[in-house]
Amino acid sequence: MPKQELVVLGQEAQACCGRLAAAPLDEDQAADLAKVFKALGDPVRLRLLSMIASRDGGEVCVCELTPAFELSQPTISHHLKLLRQAGLVDCERRGTWVYYWVLPAALERLAAVLKAPQAAEEVEA
């Protein structure tokens, strides 16, 4: 079975999508969003993203993430790589360690896509 690789979303993909409830997605929009949701579809990756996003200071060393799981360091690194390829996190190597942080624009984009339209009475209030 060939390995599938998630591709980092380009600028055009980041601004591609409105809310799901506003209009149906076209094929390209659905494919781009599916890559991100596929990355988030694993409980380990979802926990990793949550741990990184909730970290004071906005970044965390991989050495602090690994002990929270009963997985090997290479497996954690693989999951982090998939989150990076999906455009959800970024990283920087500092000496022997790699530090990760969430890309706020990616979370805002997902939030905007999933946001339900407000009812007319909520808008007027």
Predicted confidence (pLDDT) per residue in 49-83, tens digit: 999 999 988 899 999 999 999 999 999 999 999 99
Provide the pLDDT for residue 57.
85
Of the two residues 82 and 121, the one the predictor is more confident about is 82
Instruction: Look at the block and give the residue holding tokens 């905007």.
Output: 112
- Tell me the C-alpha distance between 85 and 17, whole Å: 19
What was the pLDDT predicted at 118?
66
pTM of the model: 0.74
* CA-atom Rg of the chain in angstroms: 17
Q: Between 23 and 5, where is the model more confident?
A: 23
Are 80 and 52 contacting, i.e. CB atoms less than 8 angstroms apart?
no
Residues 43/44/47/53 CA torsion (nearest 10 deg):
-120
The three-state secondary structure class of 28 is: helix
Give the bridge partners for 101, in sequence order. 90
